[in-house]
Structure 1
Amino acid sequence: MPRYRYSSHLIAGLVLATLLLAPLTVLADEFAEGERSFRAQCVGCHSIDPGRHLAGPSLHGLFGRPAGSLEDFDYSPVLEQADLSWNRKNLDAFLAGPQDFLPGTRMVLWGLDERTRRHIIDYLESLAAP
């Protein structure tokens, strides 16, 4: 019976490939979880398509955008006057309790748990990445 000899370079290459691909699998899983959370919690009122507003504004290009700044959406006065731009910190606080973060907002949400917020924020941020 023949014995197969594997070079240390081949084994090292396989180990390296496994280590490099593992994070991609985790990222794909995280993206899928974020998309599921978005669909379960947000898609009834928000679109991710540019210019497509539902009950809430499109979330396309959300990161870095000043709150209440889309010209073709009718925001609550508190959002139009808010002096903030959407980033991870502000979005997390808003999704934890919109009325606590910006009293008077029209956003109808009782607040999301930390894990769900993180997944949704990660998902929305990944859509903004080049």
Structure 2
Amino acid sequence: MNILMVCLGNICRSSLAHGILSHLAKEEGLDWTIESAGTGDWHIGQAPDRRSIAVAKKYNVDISHQRARHFNASLFNAYDHILVMDHQNYKDVVSQATSKEERDKVMLFLVDDIVPDPYFDENLFEPVYKLIENRCQQLIKEWK
């Protein structure tokens, strides 16, 4: 299974989701490919935000090797599921879809809610990590 996590800049939320789901899938022996991208292009090639790296490291998840990349329509072909962190990410990704099949691959990471962007609030990194971790555990159970 190939899964893509998407947020705005690919340095906070989607990089955490990428790292956490990869870590959990490996622990379960699942041969999944999990990656991430951002709808914005400001951080292409950069490592995740230092605060994302730190909170992930606290829970023994290493995301320091990741590098931000920009979402583009060619990625629809490479992934079975594209999970986005908020409604604007959803609109930005779906707007690039050229078929119902591509649109159907896109869903909110949290089915009925958004993952808050912690970029401007230092205190949100830990709660966002926990929120993402809980959802990743659910995804493992659903898709295993």
Q: Same fold (TM over 0.5)?
A: no
- Scaled to the shorter chain, the TM-score interval is under 0.3
Larger helix share, 1 or 2: 1
Higher percent of residues as strand: 2
By relative contact order (CA 8 Å, sep 6+), the higher-ranking structure is 2
What is the TM-score normalised by the length of structure 2?
Answer: 0.24
